[in-house]
Amino acid sequence: MREFPPNRPGEILLAEGRLETGWWGKGPEAAPTVVLLHEGLGSLGLWRDFPARLAAATGWGVLAYSRFGYGGSDPVALPRPLDYLRREATAVLPRVLDAAGLRRGILFGHSDGASIAAIHAGACPDPRLQGLVLVAPHVFTEPMGLAGVAATRDRYAAGDLRARLARHHRDVDVAFHGWAGAWLDPRFPAAFDLLPEVRRIRLPVLAIQGEADEYGTPEQLHAIARETAGPVERLLLPGIGHAPQAEAPEAVLAALRTFLARLGAGGSDAAADPV
C-alpha cells in the first residue's frame, strides 16, 4: 500500500489571531513549497488526503491552513466586507507566507482560494513565487454561479449541508454565512471584478476547471488566458464538477507535475512516481 507523508499540525499567530496549519513533506529549507488556499466553504481538514498525495507526487513540501473564520482558526465578525478576498490576498496572505518561512514555491488555490491567489500575484508580486495553479477559479461573477450559491444556501437552510460542514468548522455559521452573504449581496458582482489584478499577473499559470462545475463556466479559464500577462496552460476536465482535486486527483497531479517540470522547479530530490 502506498505511503504518504504525514501531516504535521501547527499554527500561525498573526495580530488578528490564530490560524491552524498543516505541513506535509519537506520543509522550506529543503524543498520548494506548494501553498494550498481552500475554497469558500473549505478548511484545512477538507483538503482530505490531497496534500499528502501532492507531496508524494512532487517531492515538494505542502502547506495548508484554514483562513480566519474557517476550520479551527479564529473566527471573524459578520458580515464579511465585499472585498474580503482582496483583503485576504493583500493583507493576510503575505504575512502567512512570511510566518511559514517560504523560500520558493507556488500558490495552489481552489475556488475562492484561486481568486485569492490571482489577486495576490497581480497586486503583491513576490519573487519567492514561481507560478500559480488556479483550480475552479473565479475572476468575475456569472449568473449561473450566483444561482449555484443560492442553491447551496437553500441546502444549508434545509440542514443536511450544515450538519456535514459542522464537522470541519469551529463555527459553521460564520464560515457559511460569511461566504454566502458576500456572494449573494447584490453589490458583490461590481465589487468582485478581478480582471485588473489578472492583467498584472506575470507568473506562469496552470488553470484547471471541470466542465460540470456548478459555480462557473469555462469562460473563467478563457478570460484568464486572454488577460494574464504571463503564460497560461488550461485544463478542462469532462464530467468533473467544482472540485477537480477531489474528483479527478490523478489528472490534477499529472498536470501539476508537467507544469512544475516546465517551470524547471523540481523538488530537492526526484519526485515519487505519479499518484
- CA of residue 250 relative to chain centroid, distance: 18
pLDDT over 70, % of the chain: 95
Write the pLDDT tens digit of every residue in 9-34. 999 999 999 999 999 999 999 999 99
Find where cell 488550461 sits.
Answer: 234
Give, in order, the Cα–Cα distances in Å from 203 to each of 24, 69, 245: 24, 29, 22
Q: What are the boundaries of each domain within the chain?
A: 8-263
Write the pLDDT tens digit of every residue in 216-239. 999 999 999 999 999 999 999 999
Mean pLDDT, range 262-267, rounded to an integer: 71
- Predicted confidence at residue 264, as pLDDT, reads 83
- Predicted confidence at residue 265, as pLDDT, reads 62
Q: Which of 124, 118, 69 is nearest to 95 (CA)?
A: 124
Q: How many other β-carbons are positioned within 10 Å of the β-carbon of residue 143?
A: 9
CB 210 within 8 A of CB 108: no
CATH architecture of the domain 8-263 equals 3-Layer(aba) Sandwich (3.40)
- Predicted confidence at residue 38, as pLDDT, reads 98
Q: Which of 156, 124, 129 is nearest to 40 (CA)?
A: 156
Write the pLDDT tens digit of every residue in 40-97. 999 999 999 999 999 999 999 999 999 999 999 999 999 999 999 999 999 999 999 9
Cell of 91: 493583507
- Predicted confidence at residue 4, as pLDDT, reads 85
Cell of 273: 512516481
In this prediction, residue 105 has a pLDDT band, given cuts at 50, 70 and 90, of: very high
Cα R_g (the chain), whole angstroms: 17
**pTM of this prediction exceeds 0.75:** yes
CB 186 within 8 A of CB 223: no
Q: How many other β-carbons are positioned within 10 Å of the β-carbon of residue 83?
A: 15
What average pLDDT does the chain have?
Answer: 94
Percent of residues in the chain assigned helix, strand, coil, to nearest 5: 40, 20, 40
Q: How many other β-carbons are positioned within 10 Å of the β-carbon of residue 165?
A: 18
Which one is predicted more confidently, 15 or 267?
A: 15
| DSSP one-letter string for 151-211 | HHHHHHHHSHHHHHHTTT-TTHHHHHHHHHHHHTSTTHHHHH--HHHHTT--S-EEEEEET
Give, in order, the Cα–Cα distances in Å from 2 to each of 52, 272, 274: 11, 11, 11
